[in-house]
Structure 1
Amino acid sequence: MRRLDSLSVRREGVPAHLATGEQGEREALFHLRRLGYTVVAQRWKTAKVWGDIDLVGWDGPTLCFVEVKARGARDGMTAESAVDRDKREMLRRMARAYLKGFPEKLRDNVSVRFDVVSVYLLPTGTEFEVYKGAFGW
């Protein structure tokens, strides 16, 4: 089924690497839900800050901002290594903007974490690596 999904996306003119990323985000969403996360936003963005957050969700009492990195193979660099300093800074700015939508009393007391999910879309099946608290503020 995954192969059919990726073929149909490619026919519509989406580059293969973007199709892999979109599929990886879908797979990560369902994986995190199986782990008990309550996902409240996908591809969250705001006009005030450049960028987006792949997934926002609650892991118990902790609000998690999740960056998803997907690969079609396990060769070369690991998927999570693509979350470099610039990407982390963008995610921090986005998280601050997201939190501005919270009432001040709640905003000051919410526990926040930045997670990274590596998704490997392999012929033998999908593999995940979840890095809770991959980086801080």
Structure 2
Amino acid sequence: MPDFDILNLKDTLSPPKNTKTVGQTGENLAARFLARRGLRLVCSNFKVPIGRNRRGAAVTGEIDLVALDGRTLCFIEVKTRSSDEFAAPLSAVDLRKQRQIIRTARVYRKIFNLSGIKYRYDAVGIVLGEAGRTKIEYFENFWQEEKFRKKVWNDELY
């Protein structure tokens, strides 16, 4: 069940002009929202090379927010839209994006030697509404890493 929050930002926020501004506004709102829920922000916009694509070009992974919820490390994807008229913000967190975040989180845990820590993947969807009214949805454990692990095949059918 998602958490909902409606913020009245009429006095503090002018309407964003482009998608980059919309994204930055959303990440700032998400960080404030999560801090109010008791999470401690560790870093934002963590970027690191995570491999190469089929053409050999370097692929960079990014995690919007990394936070601590008690002793659990949370890798948080934030999606912001100026309207949900066509699709909900979190519809953009598809399997490809989830896999990229998982790869980036593995590198993060390896760099900072966090092999024994509990972690999860969360998502925040934000719709910047009319007249400064903003809707925020927060999903803990939006997806699990297990569904991306390769299955081991053997000769048994059952």
Structure 1 residues 33-112: aligned runs within 5 Å:
33-49=35-51, 50-103=60-113, 106-107=114-115, 109-112=116-119
SS across alignment from 1:2: coil
Partner of 1:13: none
Partner of 2:9: none
Partner of 1:132: 140
Is the CA contact 2:50–2:103 (under 8 Å) kept in the aligned structure 1?
A: no
Q: After the TM superposition, list the runs of 4 or more consecutive aligned residues in structure 1 that deviate by more than 3 angstroms.
A: none
Is the CA contact 2:81–2:128 (under 8 Å) kept in the aligned structure 1?
A: yes
Shift of 1:60: 1.1
Q: Which runs of 5+ in 2 are unaligned?
A: 1-11, 52-59, 146-158
State how far apart, in whole Å, the 2-side matches of 1:43 and 1:102 are: 16
Partner amino acid for 1:123? E
Q: Which runs of 5+ in 1 are unaligned?
A: 11-15
- In terms of fraction of residues, the more helix-rich structure is 1
Please give the TM-score of this superposition, normalised by the length of structure 2: 0.74
- Tell which has more relative contact order, 1 or 2 (C-alpha 8 A, sep 6+): 2
The answer to whether structure 1 residue 24 and structure 2 residue 35 are counterparts is no
| Higher Cα radius of gyration | 2
Please give the TM-score of this superposition, normalised by the length of structure 1: 0.85
